[in-house]
Structure 1
Amino acid sequence: MKFAVIGGTGLIGSRVVEDLNAAGHQAVPHSLSTGVDVITGQGLEAAVAGADVVVNLTNSPTFDDASPAFFRTSMDNLLAASRKGGVGHVVILSIVGVDKVPGLDYYRAKVLQEEALKAGPIPYSIVRATQFMEFMDATLSMTADGDTIRLPRTPIQPIAAADVAGVVAEVAAGSPVNGVVNIAGPDVYPLDELGRLTLTAKGDGRRVVTDDTAGLFAAADGDVLTAPADARIAPTHYTDWLS
């Protein structure tokens, strides 16, 4: 099968391309660096022409109120190009619990992306993943102030990027589910405890202060960011990934 992986040079996309090619498929990565712009549409029709499946792993450059416009425009452009190119399956990567955190602009934007895909003319699959292990450093930096990092007790179920990519590649190579596949890591941590664990493992002397109003994840109520009952559980534990 032939795959066009839009956003195929990034953290997840590069691994998806590698996994698909290793399985004997023909997966081609596309991104701004290869001349494909999902906002202007430049290079997009050529990128998806002749592909059996398009995997869209592009991401908004910001997490603020500009993100809805990015996902709306990029999804509209991608669907139009895919329909013209005869694509039979479109796959996107989203977030577990994305529709349950209306207080975050970025999450509302991802919901718009999902809705655009569902309403579009092409069979689809949506893979929703929990928070990437690779993003923990960025999460810590968001609320860092000198030697103190403030984090809420929001339950988080981190998943390794390699595990995410493996499922995305598997779903893309299968028949469209016309629905959602949820995936999560094997362990749940309160975010403040996860922060302490991370700092200790890295020999970082900063301290975590529990603050249920701090950072992006303070907007998430209860355990909405953890695996729902139907989720596939990935094998990589956070402590193993850290080491």
Structure 2
Amino acid sequence: MRIVVIGGTGLIGSKTVAILRQGGHVVVAASPNNGINSITGEGLHAAIAGAQVVVDLANSPSFEDKAVREFFETSGRNVHAAEAAAGVRHHVALSIVGADRTPENGYFRAKVAQERLIEASGVPYTIIRSTQFMEFLRGIADAGTAGNVVRLSPGLFQPIAADDVAAVVAEVALAAPRNGIVEIAGPERAPFDEMIARYLKAVGDSREVVRDPEARYFGGMVEELSLVPLGEARLGRVGFDEWLRSSEVRA
């Protein structure tokens, strides 16, 4: 099968490409670095021509509200046009658990706009909504830091390892389109502030984590269930403590 992975050189994309290639599939790892740009359209139609599946893992270089929405809308329209021309049979995209429940977060609003474009595109699709990746916990801590204090909500958090995300993305890409949403999350659920505190301790970071119900998550208020699946979800295999013990975390 010929599969195009938009954003195929990023964290999840590179892992997904490797899994699919190991399965014997012809995989194009599309990115601006190799002349395939979903924003300008450069190389996009040629890359998608002949593909049965397109996996969209592209991410905005800017998290500013207007810029990120323009990125996902422009990229989505260009990708869907190329898919329609090529007769692509399955569009797979990665989104965020709770994106439609945190409207104050501009990035989440942009992902919801992306989902709406996918649903209206006419191309059979599956949207995978994931909880936050464990690999981004340092960035989350940094965003909530003032001095030596990290202020975080006690809302529930259920991060998932990038390896588990990629495994599900690859599996979904080879399956029939759901024309709906699949949610995935890590195997452990705990208060946001507690999980970040465990992470910082594991990596030898001396910052103090303070529980603050008013703390915002990239602009959005976090209620108890804002960032976790409300219903059935597929759970990753890599536990939080197992991930914390890995050499990658300590590097």
Q: Give the TM-score of the pair, scaled to structure 2.
A: 0.94
Query: In the alignment, is residue 191 of structure 1 matched against residue 192 of structure 2?
Result: yes
- The amino acid across from 1:35 in the alignment is G
Report the CA distance between 1:101 and its aligned residue: 0.7
Q: Secondary structure at the match of 2:226?
A: coil
Structure 1, unmatched stretches of 5+, are none
- The amino acid across from 1:224 in the alignment is S
CA distance in 2, matches of 1:48, 1:201: 43
Partner of 1:118: 119
CA distance in 2, matches of 1:57, 1:17: 11
Partner of 2:228: 226
- The amino acid across from 2:32 in the alignment is L
Partner of 2:71: 70
Q: Is the 8 A contact 2:100 2:109 kept in 1?
A: yes
Once the two structures are superposed, the pairs formed by residues 92-111 of structure 1 within 5 Å of their partners are 92-111=93-112
Q: Is the 8 A contact 2:153 2:212 kept in 1?
A: yes
Partner of 2:215: 214
CA distance in 2, matches of 1:238, 1:190: 13
CA distance in 2, matches of 1:189, 1:62: 29
Root-mean-square deviation (CA), in Å? Answer: 1.2
Q: Secondary structure at the match of 1:51?
A: coil
Q: Secondary structure at the match of 1:12?
A: helix
Structure 2, unmatched stretches of 5+, are 246-251
Partner of 2:249: none
Report the CA distance between 1:136 and its aligned residue: 0.1
Overall identity of the aligned pairs, in % = 48
Partner of 1:91: 92
- CA distances 1:106-160 after superposition (whole Å, capped 9, x unpaired): 1010000000000012101101111100000000010212221111112110100
Aligned residues: 243
Q: Is the 8 A contact 1:142 1:215 kept in 2?
A: no
- CA distances 1:200-219 after superposition (whole Å, capped 9, x unpaired): 11121111112222242652
Partner of 2:35: 35
Q: Is the 8 A contact 2:216 2:222 kept in 1?
A: no
Q: Is the 8 A contact 2:30 2:37 kept in 1?
A: no
Q: Is the 8 A contact 1:101 1:221 kept in 2?
A: no
CA distance in 1, matches of 2:129, 2:148: 34
- CA distances 1:155-180 after superposition (whole Å, capped 9, x unpaired): 11010000000000000011111001
Q: Give the TM-score of the pair, scaled to structure 1.
A: 0.97
Report the CA distance between 1:22 and its aligned residue: 1.1
Q: Secondary structure at the match of 1:131?
A: coil
Once the two structures are superposed, the pairs formed by residues 107-186 of structure 1 within 5 Å of their partners are 107-186=108-187
